[in-house]
Amino acid sequence: MAIQIVTDSACDLPQEIIRKYGITVIPFYIHAGSRAYQDGVDLSRREFYEHLPDYQPSPTTAVPGPEIFRQTYERLASEGATEILSIHISIQLSAMVDMARQAAKEIPSVPVTVFDSRQLSLGMGFEVLTAAEAAEEGRSMEEILSILEAQIARTHVFAALDTIEFLRRSGRMNFMLS
């Protein structure tokens, strides 16, 4: 089975690619109103954005605890993974990397490398895809990490927003506009 790739739902890769490469996706939790959802499991992106203006209070996100990561890593090891590369949203934006690192320390059965993508959305998704392709080619962990570092230097994510209102409400915007 060789190197297996784990990521989180912020990678925004299409399901076809996730399935093709056997990538394991750990979903964020989305709290909207009195309900909690798993991103991409219980609530699609389309549904989320369709209802976003109506949520009161504004939705928040949360990362799963290290136990979810530990269970995921152990399952992959039991299925034959010889190494695991866990690529996650930038540590500057989320605690996902921290949770993955905590869990990785508790896994004696297989080496787990946790990689801070330093990206979000498809910036991270392209890293995950690159890693999955390299793993499929039989590249070593060291080679894959080197490829990812080079890719990060060339990747920039830009967003055009109709409004910053939902960023403001979520608390993700850490500055004030005059």
Closest by CA to 101, choosing from 125, 145, 65, is 65
pLDDT of residue 42: 78
Q: What is the mean pLDDT of each run of 10 residues along the chain (178 residues)?
A: 92 95 94 83 80 80 93 96 96 91 95 95 94 97 97 80 61 49
Running DSSP on this structure, what letter comes out for residue 52? Answer: G
**Look-up: residue for tokens 């190197």?**
3
pLDDT of residue 178: 38
